Amino acid sequence: MDRVSYPQRAYICEDVTRDGFQNLNKSVSVEDKLRLLDMIADAGIQSIEVGAFSPYESMKMMRNTPEVFKKLKRRENVLYRALVFDPNGAKEAAECGCGKIKINISASDAHHKGGTGMTTADALHNFAAIGEIAKDAGMQMAGSISLPFRSPFEGEGFIPFERLCGIIRSFIDIGISEISLSDAAGLGDPRLIYTRFSELKELFPDVSWMLHMHNTYGMGLAGIDAALRAGVTKFDSSLAGLGGCPYIKGARGNVATEDLVFMLECMGIETGTDFDLIIEAGQEAERIAGGDGCDSVIQRIGRSNGKVKRITL
96 is catalytic: no
As a whole number of angstroms, the distance between CA 142 and CA 134 comes to: 11
- For 59, which DSSP code? G
Question: DSSP per residue over 190-244, as a string?
Answer: HHHHHHHHHHHHHH-TTPEEEEEEB-TTS-HHHHHHHHHHTT--EEEEBGGG--B
Sequence-distant (≥ 6) Cβ neighbours of residue 7 within 8 angstroms? 228, 231, 233, 269
Q: One of 98, 245, 266, 294 is an active-site residue; which one?
A: 245
Beta carbons of 32 and 61 less than 8 angstroms apart: no
Side-chain-side CA neighbours of residue 133 (13 Å): 24
Residues 54, 82 contacting (CB under 8 angstroms): no
Active site residues: 245
